[in-house]
Amino acid sequence: MSALVYFENNLVPNIECTDVASLKFEISQQYGVSQQDLFVTVNGKTVSCDLDLRSLNNVVRVCTKLVGGKGGFGSMLRAIGAQIEKTTNREACRDLSGRRLRDINEEKRLRKWLEGQEDREREAVERKQKKLERLMAEPKIDVNLSPMYEKERQDLPGRVSAAVDAGWQAAGTSSEGGTKRKVEEDKSKGRKKAKLWIDAELSDCSSLSDDEEDAPTCRAQAVSTDSGNESDRISDSSSKP
């Protein structure tokens, strides 16, 4: 076999096969891949299993099949496709020079904005000037106050100050009178005569004698003040036959 055999872009050396079927068997034995998952191509075309490889001088490639499919039934895929919204945004696309359309559009917008900068500044100045002219043209409001109101407004501070002074004077007079009265009461209390302890007891007895309920208490105090001779005489008279 003079042809070169490649398996998944790797050269397979020292392999002798007569046909495609024997080649698939050898690859399956060496790499542990099932024969049903292998297919052989020559010059990019898939060949059958009975092709004789001894007369070929080309490159023979052995590849594995890819597991996959369309992923669903046709009706289901068509229903999902109808639900997907088609976008019209082509900003991420590139032009022939390789630039993003997003960058090109942004550059255009920036150039347009810079071109209109002078016009915007001029319009701002004009708006400010018009506003000042409108304020200057507005009529002024004249307020005519009556002479009586002006007189009352001028006399009001004087009347307020006079009322405050009168209030302070009244408050000072009342406080002086109360202080003098308090001092006189204190002096009258201080001129009272101090009593001795005997006078105090006599005054208490006299006050108690006027009250009928306190009479026994007063007699008990009178007995307690005797010197003791009266009680001795009473005891001697009671002991004699």
Q: pTM above the 0.75 mark?
A: no
> What is the model's pLDDT at position 217?
45
Q: Tens digit of pLDDT for each residue in 207-236?
A: 544 544 444 444 444 444 444 455 455 555
Query: Residue 15's closest CA among 70, 53, 42, 64?
Result: 53
Q: Tens digit of pLDDT for each residue in 7-65?
A: 888 888 877 787 888 888 888 888 888 888 888 888 888 888 888 777 777 788 888 88
- Token pair, residue 182, equals 């308090």
Question: In this structure, which amino acid lies at residue 174?
Answer: S
Q: Give dist(CA 3, CA 16) in Å, integer.
A: 10
Using an 8 Å Cβ cutoff, are 23 and 53 in contact? yes
Question: In this structure, which amino acid lies at residue 184?
Answer: E
* Per-residue H/E/C for 145-163: CCHHHHHHHHHHHHHHHHH
DSSP state of 15: -
- Average pLDDT of the residues in 151-176: 85
> What is the model's pLDDT at position 174?
66
Q: Which tops the pLDDT comparison, 98 or 69?
A: 98
Q: Give dist(CA 178, CA 118) in Å, integer.
A: 86
CATH number for the segment(s) 4-64: 3.10.20.90
Q: Give dist(CA 61, CA 9) in Å, integer.
A: 8
Sheet of 10-11: strands edge to edge? 10-11, 4-7, 59-64, 38-42, 45-46
Query: Residue 205's closest CA among 196, 213, 214, 197?
Result: 214
* Span of 29-38, 90-99, 163-172, 191-200 with lowest mean pLDDT: 191-200
Q: Which tops the pLDDT comparison, 91 or 229?
A: 91
Using an 8 Å Cβ cutoff, are 49 and 21 in contact? yes
